Amino acid sequence: MINLCAAVLLLLSFAMISQRRTVALVDLFTAQGVTLAVSTLVVALGTGQRHMYYSAALTFALKVIVLPVILRRLIRRLGVQWEAESRLDVTVTMIIGLLVVIFAFGLAEPISALATTVTRSTLGIALAVVLLSFLMMITRRKAVSQVIGFLAMENGLFFAAASATYGMPMLIEFGIALDVLVAVFVLGVFFFQIREQFDSLDLQHLESLKEK
């Protein structure tokens, strides 16, 4: 089940780097949240770690309910449902994504060999999800899609933590969840300021300011 969840998470990451609609990106991010919650619950059932049940509940509440609702309202108010433009062609992005996955598996292989957890085989996929999310951030021109990429990267980091250590202490997880929520609210205000100044969320406008 863990390997299945890891495979689904990786496929969703590939779907995100090829998707051009912002609303669809939110749907894929929500699917990632469901997959993370299920994988965390599977780890809890398989290892008997009680705090992992709370982690699964927190993950479901934050990544399946709260954040997608905030992102959809933000997208609707900004009117950017169709603005997930990419700097690269989809085919080129997918080829780079495949190379990133190969690199991630090669990088994680010696670490996985030293790990003692039952989920050590998924560490390479967790790293690949992080790198694919980073790839999405640097290839997108719109601010909203870059933020979704940042949140997807946090999903990969959370999955890596569950794979390597059976999760983090609940105090740290609550702190990270609060930080993510605050970051989304702050970035939402930032989006409205960009839209008010430039009538667009294309970050190339900020680059032109830097050149001036």
Q: Are 173 and 167 in contact (CB under 8 A)?
A: yes
pLDDT, tens only, 95-141: 999 999 999 888 887 776 666 565 566 788 888 998 998 888 888 87
Q: What is the pLDDT of residue 185?
A: 58
Q: Are 19 and 28 in contact (CB under 8 A)?
A: yes
C-alpha span between 64 and 2 (Å, rounded)? 19
Q: Has this prediction a pTM greater than 0.75?
A: yes
Backbone angles phi, psi at 40, to 5 degrees: -65, -40
pLDDT at 91 over 50: yes
Greatest C-alpha distance within the chain: 58
pLDDT band at 34 (very low <50, low <70, confident <90, very high): very high
pLDDT at 25 over 60: yes
Q: What is the DSSP letter of 166?
A: S
In the chain, helix, strand, coil percent, each to 5? 85, 0, 15
C-alpha span between 68 and 28 (Å, rounded)? 10
pLDDT, tens only, 180-195: 665 665 565 555 555 5
Amino acid (one-letter) located at 32:
Q
CA angle 36, 94, 31 (to 5 degrees): 20
